Amino acid sequence: MDLSDETRIKATSEEANEWAGKNKSPNTPSPNFISHIFYLTAAMSHYGYLKTISTYNDLSKVMEEMQRHLDMLTGDGSWRNGPRQARIEAAIKLTKDEITKVKAQQLSFEVQLLDPELVFQSIGFTTFLSVWLIRQADPRKTHPSPVVELPLPQEVPMSFRVLPEYLVEDIVDYLVFAVRNVPESFALSGKTEVMQFILTFLTSTWYIKNPFLKSKINDVLFMAIWPYGRERNGILGSMLNTHPMALKHLMPALMHFYIEVEQTGASSQFYDKFNARRNISFVLKAIWDNPVHREALNVEAKNVDKFVRFVNLMINDVTYLLDESLSELTQIHNIQVEMDDKATWESQTPEHRRERESTLRSLERHASSYTTLGRSTVELLKLFTAQTKTPFMMPEIVDRLAAMLDYNLDALAGPRCQDLKVRDAEKLRFNPRALLSDILQVFLNLADQPEFVCAVAGDGRSYKKELFERAADIAIRRTLKSVTEIEKLRLFVVKVEEMKATLEAEEDLGEVPDEFLDPLMFTVMRDPVILPSSKTTLDRSTIKSHLLSDSKDPFNRAPLSIEDVIPNTELKAQIDAFLTERRKNSGSFQQPQDSNVNIPKMEVD
């Protein structure tokens, strides 16, 4: 079998050829009979069985496309009793006939691919291949006796790098197929090998070059906890909460991959990351009740730089996903209102109606995806802020977190919330009450943190006392929160109002010289630093926040790390002197001496 044209796991063709030349000599023993059979079986599986599975999967895509075409043809039925009726009915019949043919093909494939004996043998070979592959990466070459130590070394051995990529791809593709279609077939064997394969290459993702392949491994983990039959935790759910390897490495693996998918180098990385992170969120929620996993999170949080980056990406995702989903829900609402006005709607041209219906279906597909992803990320934020709070209070995180929460609270409980009332909310997977409850819970989780109180008070864009009053009213009427939780929210608002008054008094600085203002945030810099490449000065917290998502100078896109920035001590001294002088001239702000403030009661119907 000629491998010269095959993509390798992590090596280029030139590196593979050079390695083969160095390891080829007259004294090299020829592969024995068992080795020949092993590689021939792998090749047969790749070119035969896995190719057949790929063809079967393609039929599902064809079926989905034909169903969308049928939905488009059917439309709202306005073509009935019109000049186009005969032509459209013929097209509908033709499409239904094609769907029937494709369904028959699917059933024919399933009869062969899901044959119990073939499935049993295929799972056995796939798990054997996965164990063999891990052994090639294991420095001791002993896996599974003893099991490989994770994470793997940073230096990837060339003997592993030059292996054909399809070996990994075939393992992943078959596991996806089997876990999705015949999960009960793993009842007797294969679970441990699947878990070890997933954890090995999610904790040590640098062993695989292809970002899509790494995401597929994450997909297998996600599907492996889907319930089936009487098994509520999927094929791996119970093992992830009991097996020593999972208890030690699962949390670090998930956090590592959550960060890695932000920048994979693929052209579609921006959208791919949301599906990968949705899967991670699902797994994290499935294991969250296990105290060993929660303690593993606390251990990971001690690596402050890594955890802060993880938190920052979570906030970025929530910001984008909720903004997109709420925007599209508003557009869906507007189209539905437009269609409800029957007289005006029927007066429009057929082309206009078809275009608006097509836009509506497209918005519904996107909104469904965004609401699901956004909700799962908010749930993750709720869990993490309950468990560990310090990383969320970092200067480069806390202001953005507060602004994001205030903005989305305004969308869900403010005047704009009426625009989110859409028909078939369940179809769009939109549950505004649950989303509001989760966002309020994040506020409650962090209500005792002074940095968070200050950040909410400093949010001049979305924070309003009245907004929290409306949210509390909704939470009481819809029984989203208990009376005790609402009282805690009220106390939080009182603290925010006090801090807001303090900040307003302190920040009444009059006219501020432009050179004292951060060029990105337009706030007074407290710790100005110089970027070495662009020579731009901005606040340290601003550039730290930027570098959490992008390792480039924002002004000229040159590579940059926080260690490279240069403190601008001269400018800092000037700013400090300016602030001292202005505060002296304006008089010191006197904070309330009595801490036993009266908490105003919010009126609730």
Task: Spell out the residues 6+ positions from residue 129 whose beta carbon is closer than 8 angstroms to its own.
Answer: 42, 167, 170, 171
The string of pLDDT tens digits covering residues 68-81 is 888 888 876 777 88
pLDDT grade for 605, boundaries at 50, 70 and 90: very low
Domains of the chain are 30-300 (no CATH), 313-506 (no CATH), 514-586 (3.30.40.10)
Please report the pLDDT score of residue 76 as a whole number.
66
**Cis omega (within 30 of 0) on the bond before 244?**
no
* Residue found by looking up tokens 């490989």 in the block: 148
The string of pLDDT tens digits covering residues 509-540 is 677 888 888 888 777 888 999 999 999 999 88
Q: How far apart are CA 63 and CA 100, in angstroms?
A: 10
SS (H, E, C) 370-384: HHHHHHHHHHHHHHH
DSSP SS3 for 134: helix
How many alpha carbons fall within 13 Å on the CB side of residue 528? 24
3-state helix vs strand vs coil in the chain, percent to 5: 70, 5, 30
The string of pLDDT tens digits covering residues 49-63 is 999 999 999 999 999
Q: How far apart are CA 428 and CA 326, in angstroms?
A: 11
Task: Spell out the residues 6+ positions from residue 554 whose beta carbon is closer than 8 angstroms to its own.
Answer: 520, 543, 546
**307 burial via Cβ count (<10 Å: 0-12, 13-18, 19+):** buried
Q: Which two tokens stand for residue 567?
A: 């403190």
Please report the pLDDT score of residue 192 as a whole number.
95
**Mean pLDDT computed over every residue of the chain:** 88
308 touches 548 (CB < 8 A): yes
- Which of 165, 178, 181, 175 lies closest to 198, judged by CA? 175
Q: How far apart are CA 534 and CA 591, in angstroms?
A: 42
If you average pLDDT over residues 117-127, what whole number do you get?
95
DSSP string across 459-494 = -TTT--HHHHHHHHHHHHHTT-S-HHHHHHHHHHHH
- List, in sequence order, every residue forming a beta bridge with 530; answer none if it has no partner: 537, 566
- List, in sequence order, every residue forming a beta bridge with 270; answer none if it has no partner: none
Please report the pLDDT score of residue 424 as a whole number.
78
DSSP string across 74-99 = HTTSTTTTSTTHHHHHHHHHHHHHHH
How many alpha carbons fall within 13 Å on the CB side of residue 242? 7
Query: In this model, does residue 595 exceed pLDDT 60?
Result: no
Please report the pLDDT score of residue 602 as a whole number.
36
pLDDT grade for 3, boundaries at 50, 70 and 90: low
- Which of 210, 176, 192 lies closest to 57, judged by CA? 176
Q: How far apart are CA 359 and CA 352, in angstroms?
A: 11
Q: How far apart are CA 550 and CA 491, in angstroms?
A: 37
Enter the pTM of the model.
0.78
- List, in sequence order, every residue forming a beta bridge with 538; answer none if it has no partner: 529
* Residue found by looking up tokens 């019949």 in the block: 93
Please report the pLDDT score of residue 2 as a whole number.
55
Please report the pLDDT score of residue 74 as a whole number.
84
The string of pLDDT tens digits covering residues 259-308 is 999 877 777 777 788 889 999 999 999 999 999 999 998 898 888 888 88
